[in-house]
Structure 1
Amino acid sequence: MKYMIMTFGDVSAWDTLGLGAGEATWSEEEVAEHFRAMSAFYADLADSGEMVTGYGLADPSHAMTVEIRDGRPVTSDGPYAEAKEVLAGFGVIDVASHDRAVELAARFAGIVRTRVELRPVMDGSGQEM
């Protein structure tokens, strides 16, 4: 069964880590430990064969929305209209059960210090993968 673990955070999270336009509030050691813990989590999943893919996303100031109007693509800056909370990253896992997916999502929520969303991945026919 495949699940996506999505990490959400306030837009100031990039500043907290020193990755945004604002001043970092975490020490260099805290940032290094944060990334070590995330790397160890993903390495454990790779070793167990449960990791499909996962990435952090760039600061939301680099995002844009794309839609079709009158048959033509129209782009605008920013991920969403005036949203404080944004998608910060994601991972796709392939696990034997829903319980295992919840276990891994809970472990990751502890690492990233925020809530995460866990959602089954669907195939093209609408069935869970």
Structure 2
Amino acid sequence: MPRFMGFVRMEENVGMPPQALFEAMDGYIGERAAKGIFVDGGGLFGTEDAVNFVVREGQVSRVDGPYAEAKEVVGGWSILEYPSLEEAVADQREFAELHARHWPEVTVVATLRQISDGPDAPTK
């Protein structure tokens, strides 16, 4: 079954999501976990403690957060399994709609990417 990774990106320091979103997400994730769709996932702390290793021209350098130039940061992630790409896309839209309904004042980008199991092309 194809596996996918979901990301939630938003501006940093926009505050905590409303309780209604947490409650809606608990139900959404619980339903998918019971069906075997939601494999793992969680929220991420801010970039103040982030560490990046940048490889440039064969040299490795460490860059510690916070990153003032960052417009959006990844705030959460998930690993998901769906029978088809179409079902994954439809469910990702539902995930985005939860955010629109419960936290409309914040711009959120919900990204879905298929996980590669090797050199093959993604499932269509």
Q: Deviations over 1:7-60 (max 9, x none)?
A: 0000123xx21xxxxxxxx6xxxx222211111111111011111111111012
Q: Deviations over 1:105-124 (max 9, x none)?
A: 11111223322111110013
Equivalent pair of 1:53/1:91 in contact (CA under 8 Å)? yes
TM-score by length of 1: 0.75
Instruction: Confirm or deny that 1:67 pairs with 2:54.
Output: yes
CA RMSD, 1 decimal: 2.4
Q: Deviations over 1:52-103 (max 9, x none)?
A: 1111110121212123579886322127671111111111110001111011
**Distance verdict in 2 for CA 1:74–1:109, change over 3 Å:** same
> Which structure 1 segments of 5+ residues have no match?
18-25
Aligned length: 115
**Distance verdict in 2 for CA 1:80–1:128, change over 3 Å:** farther
Equivalent pair of 1:2/1:128 in contact (CA under 8 Å)? no
Measure, in 2, the Cα distance between the counterparts of 1:6 and 1:80: 19
> Which structure 2 segments of 5+ residues have no match?
101-107
Look up the equivalent residue of 2:49 and give its one-letter code. H
- Given candidates 104, 107, 113, the residue that maps to 2:94 is 107
Measure, in 2, the Cα distance between the counterparts of 1:12 and 1:85: 10
Measure, in 2, the Cα distance between the counterparts of 1:112 and 1:73: 38
2:118 corresponds to = 124
